[in-house]
Chains A and B, each alone.
Chain A
């Protein structure tokens, strides 16, 4: 009777161990998978937000430029710099938009002032921004953040 009770107990112990192991394994799998999915969803959302807001910001700046304004693409601080010039009360001012240290920056200064990339105002997180004039009426903007990149052309109204 005692022997039978002991045998049953060890089988039950193994069963309990198996059930607990399955329990722990499934719980771990769920947590690991959940964390992976959460990370990828957040990263995708952040990259998408960075690219979308940066391109929308630059597009807005290009659209709001006055009719007499000028658009140029320069090189500075190791990346392309979009320079928007406008005349205010007889004096010319430049708004420069560029990427520096993983961020989109903007600096507004009177024409002729030395351009220092670190002196700008950070707008958004962005890894890279490439710009190119296409035929004088279009400007091509390509923004990159994380693994994602998006390109859009903007028609210049002049």
Chain B
């Protein structure tokens, strides 16, 4: 009888330990998934910033940039929305450029730049 009670106690203890480990494992798995997501988001932000910088540099160089472009990197689609608003002044043009990059439904990067071009080089 005493042996039976002791065995049962050991079994219960082991089950409790296994349950605790299962809970810990579940927490750790969620943590790993979160770390992986964070790393992927960071990668998307890096790519997004470069894509935004690329669009802004093209605008500054006077190239035509489409209002909406799509690029694919590492299996993800990036939507690059670019906008350039020129404001005429007597001595030149102030060009306000803004670029927003979206990936998987979320904005990953946004850059804005203003550039003043004196009249002689405003063309």
> Do they bind each other?
yes
Residues of A within 8 A of B68 (CB): none
Residues of A within 8 A of B43 (CB): 44, 48, 148
Task: Judge if B91 is at the interface, Cβ distance under 8 Å.
Answer: no
Contact of B28 among A16, A20, A34, A154 (CB under 8 A): A34
Task: Judge if B25 is at the interface, Cβ distance under 8 Å.
Answer: yes
Task: Judge if B77 is at the interface, Cβ distance under 8 Å.
Answer: no
Q: How many chain A residues touch B (Cβ–Cβ < 8 Å)?
A: 39
A73 and B37 alpha carbons, distance in the complex (Å):
38
Interface footprint category on B: 35 or more
Task: Judge if A79 is at the interface, Cβ distance under 8 Å.
Answer: no
Tell me whether B3 and A8 are in contact (CB under 8 A).
Answer: yes
Task: Judge if A55 is at the interface, Cβ distance under 8 Å.
Answer: yes
Interface string of B57-94 (1 = CB under 8 A from A): 11011110000000001100000000000000000000
Residues of B within 8 A of A26 (CB): 18, 21-22, 25
Tell me whether B62 and A137 are in contact (CB under 8 A).
Answer: yes
Task: Judge if A152 is at the interface, Cβ distance under 8 Å.
Answer: yes
**Residues of A at under 8 Å CB distance from B?**
5, 8-9, 12, 15-16, 19-20, 22-23, 26-27, 29-30, 33-34, 37-38, 40-41, 44-45, 48, 51-52, 55, 135, 137-138, 147-156
* Shortest Cβ gap from B31 to chain A (Å): 9
Residues of B within 8 A of A33 (CB): 28-29, 32
A20 and B50 alpha carbons, distance in the complex (Å):
51
Tell me whether B57 and A153 are in contact (CB under 8 A).
Answer: yes
Residues of B within 8 A of A20 (CB): 14
Tell me whether B54 and A40 are in contact (CB under 8 A).
Answer: no
